[in-house]
Chains A and B, each alone.
Chain A
């Protein structure tokens, strides 16, 4: 198996700049980065180092200035825009720092959005989302609106939204930044246990060092480049803890 075959994300020589001439800002300066299947990979670094731009490029939301991105062997840059949207819909899940839940929808309805976008009938989509929320410990809150949920609960709904359509790559942008330490840990436990799968990869952008222990791999980024990659410290205990929380919401 070649590195490309085993990789979920494979970036080579990614460059990205904004603006032109005097206003030109080089945000990514030749990034080579790989996330393997079954891996929970952290992308860490100081604010402004290009983490968000890199995940935007990986997700196909931004065009690269040069370099190539391959997701599970698919080159997004070579796809027409419409195909890229459909690829993202099918194969990618997202967790955002600010949750980005629709205030008009209940927890289950919010979690069902990727299914609804894919054309699944509303009742079926909401039922599937509610079942997943139940597994994530929010079974009693499926009918609650975001304003009725705590930050941790909202992030769990966002996690359900990222998982409900069973994507192959989950991209998380600072998933614990808006949460207190204990809630952030709980969310990471859920992420580690619910999202990691042999044929799936999870890419987490964070600068919250308290949750580094959940990572399989930690890529450090600075000034638009990956400076070094180190193995993470994800343990079976962490995974086990997450699993037990999944089956026992009160845990």
Chain B
């Protein structure tokens, strides 16, 4: 009988299509908005997660995220290095400055000064050039979004330069780091070069990057560092989570959740209403099926299958569109980090299925209540 149910569904092409379109659009809207939200939140932690050679981040106690910078005294670096179980620790200097391109483009840039000796925190993936070229004074590598801002429409090329605080910084490569939440160009350079740009500042350390020695648990090391006083140590994931929570708690996710909820409600309402209409318009055939001995259980399975087909097809189309849009948007340098996590894809489909399930249940109740004798009238 399931096959009969599917044929009935297929035969009512207008409603079948309307339901699939409704589910597709709802899934697309929810996934698109959820993906943007997830991407934005992950971007707040992108610079933390991009540093793969360190597993500990040490900051001033007040610092909540990567974009909050409070200069640290150099003595702290020595204190961290002195902890048993720390394999190495290196400073990372972060400053904001105004950059000018040769073509006259001007923009605020985030400059990350990486420890000259260890190069800890250097991007691991490059699109063009070599990352370790920054050892040379007054050189840097820039991210793709930054390159697009300063050299719009031009192909990636090594050798261009930026002027920052009266210094000419030569671009030695294009990094492949995740897009930053701030949207500012990210310039990785040596700490020596960055320090020269950090005019008038006494302290040249914004973060301390550290690596736990083999056999040491990063969490335990964090506790040890925190007991020193005046420092706050977190594992990479803890710091990333703090950063996402810091931005996430400022209301933006709520705006996205409103849109996602609207998508869920509208999609489920249209799908559910159309499905209920489909069932009600088929009351007579369904009554006939009851008369000839189709059980309520068989009819319930038919309805469940019909609903499942609509939801699966709609979810596949919607997810496909969402993924295609996501991929198309990712070609933009500033939006290169946009991604659609599978958890979101699955979660939105299940959420819609749950809400639409109410309509399926209502449809089943309607069919159960159908008076089979009505078929004689």
A25 an interface residue at 8 Å Cβ cutoff?
A: no
Cβ of B291 and Cβ of A103 under 8 Å apart?
A: no
Question: B291 touches which one: A53, A94, A97 (CB < 8 A)?
Answer: A94
Question: B293 touches which one: A52, A55, A89 (CB < 8 A)?
Answer: A89
Cβ of A89 and Cβ of B3 under 8 Å apart?
A: no
Q: Enumerate A46-69 residues with CB–CB distance to B below 8 Å.
A: 52-53, 55-56, 59, 61-62
B284 an interface residue at 8 Å Cβ cutoff?
A: yes
Cβ of B293 and Cβ of A85 under 8 Å apart?
A: yes
When chains A and B are docked, how far (Å) is the Cα of A52 from the Cα of B374?
Answer: 10
List the 10 shortest-distance A-B pairs measured between CB atoms, nearest first.
A89-B293, A104-B11, A56-B373, A61-B373, A104-B7, A100-B288, A117-B294, A52-B376, A61-B372, A88-B293
When chains A and B are docked, how far (Å) is the Cα of A114 from the Cα of B296?
Answer: 15
Cβ of B10 and Cβ of A114 under 8 Å apart?
A: no
Q: A62-B373, A85-B295, A96-B376 are in contact. Are A113 and B289 (CB under 8 A)?
A: yes
Q: A55-B376, A62-B373, A102-B8 are in contact. Are A122 and B3 (CB under 8 A)?
A: yes
Q: Which residues of A contact B377 (CB under 8 A)?
A: 52
For the complex with contacts A61-B371, A85-B290, 10 further pairs of A-B residues with Cβ separation under 8 Å are: A56-B373, A61-B291, A61-B373, A86-B295, A94-B288, A94-B292, A100-B285, A105-B4, A109-B7, A116-B4
Q: Enumerate B275-306 residues with CB–CB distance to A below 8 Å.
A: 284-285, 288-296, 298
Cβ of B7 and Cβ of A102 under 8 Å apart?
A: yes
Cβ of A116 and Cβ of B1 under 8 Å apart?
A: yes
Nearest chain-B residue to A105 (Cβ)?
B7
Q: Which residues of A contact B126 (CB under 8 A)?
A: none
A149 an interface residue at 8 Å Cβ cutoff?
A: no
A82 an interface residue at 8 Å Cβ cutoff?
A: yes
Q: A104-B8, A105-B7, A116-B4 are in contact. Are A86 and B293 (CB under 8 A)?
A: yes
When chains A and B are docked, how far (Å) is the Cα of A161 from the Cα of B293?
Answer: 12
Q: Which residues of B contact A61 (CB under 8 A)?
A: 291, 371-373
Contact digits for A82-126, partner B, Cβ 8 Å, 1 yes 0 no: 100110111011101100101111000100011011100010000
| Shortest Cβ distance from residue A43 to the other chain B in the assembled complex, whole angstroms | 12
B137 an interface residue at 8 Å Cβ cutoff?
A: no
| Shortest Cβ distance from residue A145 to the other chain B in the assembled complex, whole angstroms | 9
Contact digits for A5-44, partner B, Cβ 8 Å, 1 yes 0 no: 0000000000000000000000000000000000000000
A189 an interface residue at 8 Å Cβ cutoff?
A: no
Q: A102-B7, A103-B11 are in contact. Are A117 and B1 (CB under 8 A)?
A: yes
Q: Give the size category of A's interface with B.
A: 20 to 34
Question: B295 touches which one: A59, A82, A102 (CB < 8 A)?
Answer: A82
B133 an interface residue at 8 Å Cβ cutoff?
A: no
Q: Which residues of A contact B8 (CB under 8 A)?
A: 102, 104
B71 an interface residue at 8 Å Cβ cutoff?
A: no
Q: Which residues of B contact A102 (CB under 8 A)?
A: 4, 7-8, 11, 285, 288
Contact digits for B1-29, partner A, Cβ 8 Å, 1 yes 0 no: 10110011011100000000000000000
| Shortest Cβ distance from residue B110 to the other chain A in the assembled complex, whole angstroms | 62
| Shortest Cβ distance from residue A169 to the other chain B in the assembled complex, whole angstroms | 13
Cβ of A117 and Cβ of B292 under 8 Å apart?
A: yes
Q: Which residues of A contact B375 (CB under 8 A)?
A: 96, 100
Q: Which residues of A contact B285 (CB under 8 A)?
A: 100, 102
Cβ of B11 and Cβ of A113 under 8 Å apart?
A: no
Q: A55-B376, A56-B376, A173-B376 are in contact. Are A117 and B293 (CB under 8 A)?
A: yes
| Shortest Cβ distance from residue B375 to the other chain A in the assembled complex, whole angstroms | 6
Q: Which residues of A contact B372 (CB under 8 A)?
A: 61
Q: Which residues of B contact A82 (CB under 8 A)?
A: 295
| Shortest Cβ distance from residue B13 to the other chain A in the assembled complex, whole angstroms | 10
Q: A96-B288, A173-B376 are in contact. Are A118 and B293 (CB under 8 A)?
A: yes
Task: Identify 13 residue pairs between A and B in the complex whose beta-carbon atoms are under 8 Å apart, listed by A's number.
Answer: A52-B377, A55-B376, A61-B372, A88-B292, A92-B293, A102-B11, A104-B7, A105-B7, A113-B4, A114-B292, A114-B293, A116-B4, A117-B294
Q: Among the interface residues B293, B294, B375, which one has the most CB atoms of the partner chain A within 10 A? A: B293
Q: Which residues of A contact B371 (CB under 8 A)?
A: 61
When chains A and B are docked, how far (Å) is the Cα of A122 from the Cα of B11?
Answer: 18
Q: Which residues of A contact B289 (CB under 8 A)?
A: 113, 117
Q: Which residues of A contact B293 (CB under 8 A)?
A: 85-86, 88-90, 92, 114, 117-118
When chains A and B are docked, how far (Å) is the Cα of A116 from the Cα of B7?
Answer: 13
